[in-house]
A = this chain, B = another copy of it.
Amino acid sequence: MQSPLPHPARDEMRIEAVLSALADPIRLRIVRALADSAEGISCGLLDLGVSASTLTHHVRTLREAGVVRVRPRGTSRISSLRRDDLDALYPGLLDGVLAAPR
Q: Mark A residues whose CB is within 8 Å of B.
A: 11, 15-17, 19-20, 22-25, 28, 89-97, 99-101
How many chain copies? 2
Contact A92 B89 (CB under 8 A): no
Output the least CB separation between A91 and chain B (Å): 5
Q: Find out whether the CB atom of A97 lies under 8 angstroms from the CB atom of B90.
A: yes
Q: Given A20-B20, A20-B23, A23-B20, A15–B100 Cβ distance below 8 Å?
A: yes
Kindly list chain B residues whose C-beta atoms are within 8 Å of the C-beta of A22: 19
**22 A/B residue pairs, CB under 8 Å, sorted by A:** A11-B101, A15-B28, A15-B97, A15-B100, A15-B101, A16-B23, A16-B25, A19-B19, A19-B20, A19-B22, A19-B97, A20-B20, A90-B96, A90-B100, A91-B95, A91-B96, A92-B92, A92-B93, A92-B95, A92-B96, A92-B99, A93-B97
